[in-house]
Amino acid sequence: METRGHGWEREQWQVVDAEQGPSDDDLTLVVSGEFLPGEEAEREATTPGRALVPVRAPTVEEVLEAFREWMRLDVADGNASPHTLRTYFSDVRQHLEWLAAQGLTPAQACEDDLKQYRAGMVERYAVSTVGRKLSSIRRFYGMAMARGALMQNPAAGLKAPRDNTARHERVKYLPLNTVRRVLAAPNVNQAKGLRDKAILVLMAMHGLRVVETERLNMENVDLEAGEAGQIRVFGKGDKWRTILLIEQTREILRMWLTARALMRSGSPAVFLSMHWNGPNERITTRGIRAMVNGYLEDVGAKREGISCHALRHSFATLSLAAGGSLLAISGALGHASVTTTQVYAKIVDKARHNPAKLLGGLLE
């Protein structure tokens, strides 16, 4: 029996051949009788030899499986990063489970339901996080519409709450002394400590993103190139950039690679998960975040807004404050435009020209 896709519309019915009975897969559109609104389906079912059967609503897992396939084909023209896909999937799963808890399906959800969901998120998350999650939800409903699973899009007019905080005020970075404590926290007398320190150094002193650190392969590292070695980083927009190391960071990376060689791992990854009871495979982004957060907690720096990405912000802010070139920092970060990097100039300028500094003598 030929099928045409999924249908999630509320109060739909399936008209089928009476002798044949309903389709084995109640989610499919059947040529012998397409999903129709109730009244139209009833008229169609009066035709001799036809019968009217209700359509089973898909489960959360079935909807998610359809969404997974849509994302694979549509997001970033079929070339989305695994991290992007995981983020979309996690956000949509959370939304679908909330709908199910309210006794609703995606086909039954209306704009007011989604506004209620948004209100609940505003109470739990930062504005930026709410905005990202709503973007994922809009993507989900847009895909469902485009694939013919829904007749209307309840998320079409759903807006994210406005964050009136200036962009440079939202950037979270660590003071120089705190970064120094974080980098000193790993125990370099152990292989894991060497690995952790190498990761922390690349993020805090060279500005690598978490996913860029996770993707780094052995073939991307050349410790003999240039003045102090270099690494090739695969970043946003599927763009490569070259990061120039300094003597201190090259030595830390060399120490880790020496320890890594003793593990005889077959993985091409620079940084391994280091499971001693199994094969040492590539560390995941989740593993990196958990490791970094652990060291932030150890030095008392873990608080709201401070996470892995704060190390990248710290690199940009502290190096600019020390006299670094905005253009060079922009290149190291992999920004498409130096305009994006200027947010750090505002942070440094605000601290450098703090008018309160002129009044320090009042307390002497």
Q: Is the pLDDT of residue 13 over 50?
A: no
Domain boundary among 37, 54, 71: 54
Q: Is the pLDDT of residue 90 over 90?
A: yes
**Chain position carrying tokens 């060497």:** 194
123 and 233 inside one domain: no
212 and 345 inside one domain: yes
CA torsion angle for 75, 79, 82, 83 (degrees, to 10)? -60
The alpha carbon of residue 265 and the mean position of all alpha carbons in its chain are separated, in whole angstroms, by 28
Q: Is the pLDDT of residue 275 over 80?
A: no
Query: Per-residue confidence at 254, pLDDT binned at 50, 70, 90?
Result: very high
Q: What are the pLDDT digits (tens) for 79-89? A: 777 778 888 99
User: For residue 170, is it within any domain?
Assistant: no
Q: Is the pLDDT of residue 55 over 60?
A: no
153 and 210 inside one domain: no
What is the predicted pLDDT for the residue at 265? 85
Q: Two tokens at 272?
A: 């391994």
Q: What are the pLDDT digits (tens) for 174-231? A: 999 999 999 999 999 999 999 999 999 999 999 999 999 999 999 999 999 989 999 9
In this prediction, residues 136-162 reach a mean pLDDT of 89
Phi-psi region of 350 (alpha: psi -120 to 50; beta: other; left: phi over 0): alpha
Rg (CA), the chain: 27
Q: Is the pLDDT of residue 105 over 90?
A: no
In this prediction, residues 254-272 reach a mean pLDDT of 92
Query: Per-residue confidence at 114, pLDDT binned at 50, 70, 90?
Result: very high
344 and 256 inside one domain: yes
Of residues 253 and 47, more confidence is placed in 253
The alpha carbon of residue 183 and the mean position of all alpha carbons in its chain are separated, in whole angstroms, by 25
147 and 102 inside one domain: yes
What is the predicted pLDDT for the residue at 217? 96
What is the predicted pLDDT for the residue at 62? 87
- Please give the model's pTM, rounded to 2 decimal places: 0.69
CA 307, 308, 309, 311 torsion-angle sign? positive
Q: Is the pLDDT of residue 30 over 50?
A: no
200 and 346 inside one domain: yes
What is the predicted pLDDT for the residue at 33? 36
The alpha carbon of residue 299 and the mean position of all alpha carbons in its chain are separated, in whole angstroms, by 26
What is the predicted pLDDT for the residue at 274? 82
Q: Is the pLDDT of residue 32 over 50?
A: no
For 44, other C-beta atoms within 10 Å of its C-beta total 15
Q: Two tokens at 171?
A: 């950037």
What is the predicted pLDDT for the residue at 51? 52
Q: How many domains in the chain?
A: 3
Query: Per-residue confidence at 2, pLDDT binned at 50, 70, 90?
Result: very low
User: For residue 87, is it within any domain?
Assistant: yes
In this prediction, residues 292-300 reach a mean pLDDT of 92
Q: Two tokens at 141?
A: 């409903």
Q: Distance between CA atoms of 121 and 129, rounded to whole angstroms? A: 9
For 320, other C-beta atoms within 10 Å of its C-beta total 20
User: For residue 62, what are the CA distances in angstroms to 12, 72, 126, 153?
Assistant: 18, 16, 30, 19
27 and 134 inside one domain: no
255 and 301 inside one domain: yes
Q: Is the pLDDT of residue 305 over 80?
A: no
82 and 105 inside one domain: yes
Contact between 186 and 196 under an 8 Å Cβ cutoff? The reply is yes
203 and 337 inside one domain: yes
Q: Distance between CA atoms of 330 and 312, rounded to whole angstroms? A: 12
User: For residue 239, is it within any domain?
Assistant: yes
User: For residue 132, is it within any domain?
Assistant: yes
What is the predicted pLDDT for the residue at 53? 52
Q: Is the pLDDT of residue 327 over 90?
A: yes
Q: Which domain holds residue 120?
A: 60-164
What value does the mean pLDDT of the chain take? Answer: 83
253 and 322 inside one domain: yes
First to last CA, the chain: 88
Q: Two tokens at 356?
A: 């309160």
Of residues 94 and 128, more confidence is placed in 94
Domain boundary among 109, 131, 164: 164
Query: Per-residue confidence at 56, pLDDT binned at 50, 70, 90?
Result: low
17-21, 219-223, 287-291, 330-334: which has the minimum mean pLDDT? 17-21
Strands (E), the chain: 3-6, 12-17, 28-30, 35-37, 50-54, 221-222, 230-235, 239-244
User: For residue 310, is it within any domain?
Assistant: yes
In this prediction, residues 238-260 reach a mean pLDDT of 95
User: For residue 357, is it within any domain?
Assistant: no
CA angle 19, 20, 26 (to 5 degrees): 135
The residues pairing with 16 across neighbouring beta strands, listed in sequence order, are 51
Query: Per-residue confidence at 152, pLDDT binned at 50, 70, 90?
Result: confident
What is the predicted pLDDT for the residue at 25? 41
Among 190, 206, 196, residue whose Cα is nearest residue 241: 206
Q: Distance between CA atoms of 345 and 257, rounded to whole angstroms? A: 35
The residues pairing with 242 across neighbouring beta strands, listed in sequence order, are 232
> What is the domain-level CATH number for residue 69?
1.10.150.130
23-27, 155-159, 300-304: which has the minimum mean pLDDT? 23-27
Q: Which amino acid is at 110?
A: C
Q: Give 66-127 as a DSSP string.
A: HHHHHHHHHGGGGT--HHHHHHHHHHHHHHHHHHHHTT--TTT--HHHHHHHHHHHHHHS-H
User: For residue 364, is it within any domain?
Assistant: no
Domain boundary among 54, 75, 93: 54
Q: Two tokens at 234?
A: 């695969």
What is the predicted pLDDT for the residue at 34? 40
123 and 156 inside one domain: yes
User: For residue 363, is it within any domain?
Assistant: no
